[in-house]
Amino acid sequence: MKIKCPHCGFEGDSSEYIFIYEVTLYVVDSRVEREERERPILVVCPKCKQGFFLDNPYKRFYRYQEHTSSWRNSGV
């Protein structure tokens, strides 16, 4: 899978990027509860070291964005 960095324009394979997934665990009555919140995966560019989201977390609130084709949600 090819990923293009929105900051510097570097285009590389997904294996070249660093993926950070934040997970929070809650302990309730000595049991670990899984967090219900949805968190996007942060992708860090190997060239400019800037992070961005592969999938826009606010995508669902938008329909078609004219200037950023990556946000295009053609199914809706």
- Is residue 45 at the binding interface for Zn ion, with CB under 5 A as the rule? yes
Q: Which of 4, 8, 35, 57 binds Zn ion (CB under 5 A)?
A: 8
Burial of 45: CB neighbours in 10 Å, binned 0-12, 13-18, 19+: buried
Give the SS3 label for residue 1: coil
Which DSSP symbol is given to 43? E
Residue that the structure tokens 């995508």 belong to? 59
- Is residue 48 at the binding interface for Zn ion, with CB under 5 A as the rule? yes
Which CB sits closer to Zn ion, 20 or 32?
20
- Is residue 10 at the binding interface for Zn ion, with CB under 5 A as the rule? yes
Chain residues that interact with Zn ion, rule: CB under 5 A: 5, 7-8, 10, 45, 47-48
